[in-house]
Amino acid sequence: MAAGAARCRRIFLNHLDSYCGRSIGEYLSGCVVGASLESVEEEEEENEDHLEAEVSRRPKEGLYQIVGTLSKPESTKPSFAEETYAVSSQKELLSYLLECDIILYNITEDANQIKEATWAASALRMEIEHFATPKMFILISTVMSWAKSKPPDPEDSEIPFTEEDYRRRKPHPNFIDHINAEKLVLKLGKNNKHAFSTYVVASGIQYGAGEGVLHYFFKIGWLSETAAIPVFGHGNNCIPTIHVRDLAAVLQNIADHRPKFHYILAVDESAHTFQELIKCISKNVGPGKIEKIPEENAFLSKELTQMHVDMLLVNLRMEAMFLKETFNIKWVAQTGLVENIEQIVEEYKQSRGLLPLKVYIHGPPGVGKSTIAEEICKHYKLHHIKIKDVISESIAKLEKIVAPKEVDSDSVRQEGEEGEDDEEEGENLEEAHELLAEIKESMEQNAGRLDDQYVIKLFKDKLKSMPCRNQGYVLDGFPKTYDQARDLFNLEEEEEIASKIPKYDKIITPEFVISLTASDEFLKNRIINLPESVVAGTHYTQDRFLQSLNNFREINVDDETVLNYFDELEIHPQFIDVAKYEDSENRFVVKEIIKEIGEPRNYGLTDEEKESLERKAAEECLAREAKEKAERERREAEERAERIANWEEWNKHLEEVKKQEQELLEAQSIPLRNYLMKHVMPTLMQGLNECCKIRPDDPVDFLAEYLFKNNPDVK
């Protein structure tokens, strides 16, 4: 590697928080500049320790630095990004682009980015004279710009397209903007290639690391809610694909090599049909079957966009000759999705955080195992595994297999019932016949009970089914004994390896063991208080319950109990005393178990579930507001009535007081009136008469003097 190449190079990438952007950015941020120039064969021949030492000695500044924009402003900055930009103008964006050595624009996920990508390439071309260092522009486009191309050889449809055919490519009608962007980007890089080189990468349908377009089918399979995964149309169309990290490796090679050929196909070596891809996903994640449905039904799903549907229905055979001849790629999935499905499924589950929760509930009869198990299953969306259900479902399934099948030539058959699967079912038919006969014979000989060996087999099959492997389960009371647990969970291979921990099947063994405890007296009182309607037809009748309780106590006092088995595996049980909570509905017990298990490890709520919860919350809110309003109106009416009553009482009291005061005043005025009438009024009348006769100048003084002179008291 040249000395100058070891310097860090800055890469701009749009939408770092998208599926493709995140994977590409994370991959390139860990790449040393120029690393792909080294021969892959030489690297493989080097000693691993020597290689690790060499990598650790490489300077950090030799790594690519990733900067870019986010599709959602509220998204957090990815850990691999040096910087993220919230761009408010083209001028601001151009200033950021000029700081970078390599500009990547991905238009495979968001068609709205095409306009920005073509503007960016044109703006950079206009600034070429001011470049401090040479720049490279890479447009990540899609093979959909080839969707309507005429075959290279009309007589042989198996001959694939290669990069050399790119001038004859014809786009899908909905991807005309993509091909126009490709042509413009290639045109802008024709002159002065040393200062400004441009490349177009036609990417296959991306998968891996959480999944992009194919995520819809992985999710359907993982949720296990349908009997078959849909295939739109006939399914025989060939879809070019590439693992998203292999696409990132192609971009790394372009950045390092600066190849002379500027239009590059990025597809793996597979040539799988849509049907083959979905069938593989169904077998490894879902129910194992696929169902062909009309193409137009694809639009019934809210999760599939028009772009997604167009990509799934494309029919192209492509071979990336340039990748093989020129680039050094450490492929993740060179042979495609089908051949690498186990790794792809593991990536999908890890990146989406989809890990199964496996719980075993242990406890005496009447302690509430089934009720608590149901609540745990509802909270975590797990499968409730009860011994009665497992046996009845298994027998029904076996009877369905051995029953004669009716052939309907007019109906569309499921792919899982054709071809190879028909042969597999033919081989399993005899086994199903034999197993069903043995199960029925065992139940007849044991008064309806089934021997442990058959119960163990049915439980193993149930726990290894895709629904239990995907979401997880809650085992309700089975296994009951040490031997049952050992036979169910231990590996059937050699057990001679000396180890303190027995070898067990981690796929089906529970990781949480909950032991519910309670005294016999508490359990008896609980059962006695159960309604007759609940007890009828169950083992909670007095005789059967006491017998079941005694049996439980007997098998759980030995040294080899079912809990001892889990202790040996270092899966230590959590003991919960149900009696301590005094809660007949076990709500506090469920909360305690949820606290122990932790957060769910599956998909969040679906759109329908969110709408249902929002609707329920809105209804509860309206009901609560109506109740509060009614209560408020009731209180106001009571207060108003109380105020009116108080006012009337106060007015009545005031009238009474006034009346009493008037009577008192009248009573007090009688002596004074009598005095005036007897002693004052006669003299006053005489004075007034005299005043009228004499007519003095000042009648008031005259009257006062008259009263003084003629006052009988003065005499």
Which residues span the domain enclosing 365? 355-382+471-604
User: What pLDDT was estimated at residue 497?
Assistant: 47
Q: What is the pLDDT of residue 558?
A: 78
Q: What's the pLDDT tens digit per position in 91-106?
A: 999 999 999 999 999 9
| pLDDT tens digits, 124-160 | 999 998 888 899 999 999 999 999 999 888 888 889 9
All residues at 6 or more sequence positions from 630 whose CB lies less than 8 Å from its CB, including other chains? none
Q: Is residue 277 part of a domain?
A: no
**Average of per-residue pLDDT across 684-708:** 85
What confidence category does residue 359 fall into, taking pLDDT thresholds of 50, 70 and 90?
very high
Do 372 and 448 lie in one domain? The reply is no
Q: Are 393 and 375 contained in the same domain?
A: no
Please indicate, yes or no, whether residues 641 and 592 belong to a single structural domain of this protein. Answer: no
Which DSSP state fits 573? P
Pair (583, 616) in one structural domain: no
104/146 same-domain check: yes
Q: Which residues of 251-277 are buried (b: 16+ CB within 10 A; e: fewer)?
A: bbbbbbeeeeebbbbbbbebbbbbbbb
Start-end of H helices in 353-497? 369-380, 387-402, 419-445, 452-463, 466-470, 482-489
Q: Is residue 85 part of a domain?
A: yes
Is 490 among the domain residues?
yes
| pLDDT tens digits, one per residue of 187-220 | 998 888 889 999 999 999 999 988 889 999 999 9
Residues 69 and 136 in one domain: yes
Q: For position 104, which CATH number holds?
A: 3.40.50.720
Q: Residue 308 domain-assigned?
A: no
Q: What is the mean pLDDT of residues 41-52?
A: 45
Residue with tokens 């178990």: 593
For the segment 685-695, what is each residue's pLDDT rounded down to a tens digit? 888 888 888 88
CATH number of residue 537's parent domain: 3.40.50.300
Cα 356 from Cα 349, distance rounded (Å)? 10
- Please tell me which of 242-256, 434-448, 541-555 the model is most confident about, judged by mean pLDDT: 242-256
Q: Report how far residue 264's alpha carbon sits from residue 481's, in angstroms, rounded to the nearest whole number.
A: 63
Q: Residue 305: how many CB atoms within 10 A of its CB?
A: 14
Residue 690 belongs to domain with CATH number = 1.20.890.10
How far apart (Å, rounded) are the C-alpha atoms in residues 66 and 461? 48
Question: For residues 453 and 438, what is the distance between their CA atoms, to the nearest angstrom?
Answer: 11
Boundary-marking domain end, from 558, 582, 604? 604
Q: How many CB atoms lie within 10 A of CB 133?
A: 10
**Spatial distance between the Cα atoms of 530 and 199, rounded to a whole number of angstroms:** 76
* 152/188 same-domain check: yes
Q: Do 483 and 429 reside in the same domain of the chain?
A: no
Q: Hey, what long-range contacts does 406-412 have (CB within 8 A, 24 or more apart)?
A: 412/291, 412/292
What letters, b where the CB count within 10 A reaches 16 and e where it falls short, cover 523-540? beebbeeeeeeebeeeeb
671 prior amide bond cis, ω within 30: no
Whether 428 is in a domain gets the answer yes
Q: Is residue 287 part of a domain?
A: no
β partners of residue 122: none
pLDDT, mean of residues 419-441: 72
Tokens 């007081």, residue located: 657
Q: Is the pLDDT of residue 277 over 90?
A: yes
Contact criterion met (CB below 8 Å) for 120 and 68:
no
Contact 222/285 with Cβ under 8 angstroms? yes
- Give the separation between CA 119 and CA 171, rounded to whole angstroms: 21
Under the banding of pLDDT at 50, 70 and 90, the label for residue 55 is: very low
Distance CA 190, CA 262 (A): 10
Give the end of a domain, one of 557, 584, 604.
Answer: 604
Contacts for 372 with CB less than 8 Å, ≥ 6 apart? 361, 516, 586, 589, 590, 593
Could you tell me if 378 and 484 lie in one domain?
yes
> In the predicted model, is pLDDT for residue 461 greater than 60?
yes
Three-state DSSP at 225 gives: coil
Q: What percent of the chain has pLDDT over 90?
A: 43
Q: Tell me whether residue 300 is in a domain.
A: no
Please report the pLDDT score of residue 44 as a whole number: 44
Strand pairing partners for 476? 361
Residue 577 in 3-state DSSP?
Answer: strand
Residue 2 above 70 pLDDT? no
**Are 313 and 295 contacting, i.e. CB atoms less than 8 angstroms apart?**
yes
One domain, residues 103 and 129: yes
Supply the angle between the helices 482-489 and 452-463 in degrees, to the nearest 10: 50
* Six-digit token string for 351: 């990146």
pLDDT band at 182, cuts 50/70/90?
very high
The tally of domains found in the chain comes to 4
Q: Has residue 172 got a pLDDT over 70?
A: yes
With a cut of 70, say whether residue 108 has pLDDT above it: yes
Query: What pLDDT is stored for residue 610 in this prediction?
Result: 60
Q: Where does a domain end: 423, 457, 491?
A: 457
Residues 110 and 254 in one domain: yes
Say what the pLDDT of residue 422 is.
55
Cβ-based neighbours of 502, under 8 Å, separated by 6 or more: 486, 490, 495, 568, 569
Inform me whether the pLDDT recorded for 47 exceeds 60: no
With respect to residue 275, please indicate whether it lies within any of the assigned structural domains: no
Please indicate, yes or no, whether residues 628 and 493 belong to a single structural domain of this protein: no
